């Protein structure tokens, strides 16, 4: 069964262009003109991915993404003509998995769609060792669930895969480039902005004090590390 992708854009020609390219690759598509239609469709449909334009009337993409993240971790890629770094970061901070700047090529669109869907699917893969514990943090690999102080934490598929990189490389420094390639793919090795925002979002969910993290620690000029803890969790 092909993945269902929901295209949300107020410009009809963009929706048609995206629809043709996606269906040529074997995907099934749905369309919405704005954020309100998007939310109405989500009451009836469960897409595997949402392509969400930022600048739309009535309810823009940022507001729609914020609402969606209150009840769903469906992967979201922003479609944006905005070139301002602040706007891109705001979108990622709201929980988007990626963004594509307009105008974009069919090759870039398909590559990013495949990358995000691949990350989403990987969260359902079973790992032989079921549990991983790091201080007050616990990961159940077989269920792709994360707990902090025995309370469940909601992570996007990208955030979960990023966390798994640290869990699988405990007490080892991982470079930013290695994380980008492992989680997002080889075409993202220069997308440092996505990594910075994703690390920040992950820390907000995992750390008691983001200014003094214990689960994901920055090593200036080197990368990031999940340091080994002793039996007391220190």
Per-residue pLDDT tens digits of the chain, which is 234 residues long: 589 999 999 999 999 999 999 999 999 999 999 999 999 999 899 999 999 998 888 888 999 998 998 888 899 999 887 666 666 778 888 888 898 888 889 999 999 999 889 877 765 444 445 789 999 999 988 788 899 999 999 888 889 989 999 998 999 999 999 999 888 887 888 888 889 999 999 999 999 999 999 999 999 999 999 999 865 555
Closest CA to 167 of 155, 118, 192: 155
* 89 to 61, 64, 67, 136, 157: CA distances (angstroms): 14, 16, 17, 29, 18
- Which residues are paired to 223 by β-bridges? 219
**Same domain as 53, residue 33:** yes
CATH number at residue 98: 3.40.50.2300
**Same domain as 144, residue 95:** no
**Same domain as 68, residue 172:** no
Query: Looking at 122, 139, 161, which one is the last position of a domain?
Result: 122
pTM value is: 0.69
**Same domain as 162, residue 93:** no
**Same domain as 100, residue 204:** no
Does residue 53 form part of some domain?
Answer: yes
Our count of domains for the chain comes to 2
Q: Which domain holds residue 219?
A: 131-225
**Same domain as 8, residue 117:** yes
């Amino acid at each position: 069964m092909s993945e269902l992708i929901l295209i949300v854009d107020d410009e009809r020609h963009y929706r048609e262009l995206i629809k043709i390219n996606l269906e040529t690759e074997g995907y099934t598509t749905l369309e919405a003109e704005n954020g309100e239609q998007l939310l109405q469709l989500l009451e009836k449909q469960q897409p595997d991915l949402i392509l969400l334009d930022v600048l739309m009337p009535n309810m823009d993409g940022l507001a729609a993404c914020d609402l969606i993240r209150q009840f769903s971790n469906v992967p979201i890629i922003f479609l944006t003509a905005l070139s301002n770094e602040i706007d891109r970061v705001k979108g990622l901070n709201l929980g988007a998995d990626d963004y594509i700047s307009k105008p974009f090529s069919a090759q870039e669109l398909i590559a990013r769609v495949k990358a995000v869907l691949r990350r989403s699917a990987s969260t359902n893969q079973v790992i032989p060792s079921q549990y991983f514990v790091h201080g007050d943090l616990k990961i159940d690999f077989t269920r792709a669930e994360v707990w902090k102080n025995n309370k469940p934490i909601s992570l996007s598929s990208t955030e979960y895969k990023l966390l798994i990189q640290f869990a699988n490389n405990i007490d080892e420094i991982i470079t930013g480039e290695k994380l980008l390639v492992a989680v997002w793919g080889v075409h993202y090795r220069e997308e440092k902005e996505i990594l910075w925002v994703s690390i920040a979002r992950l820390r907000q969910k995992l750390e008691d004090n983001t200014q003094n993290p214990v689960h994901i620690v920055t090593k200036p000029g080197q990368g990031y590390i999940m340091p080994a803890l002793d039996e007391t969790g220190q």
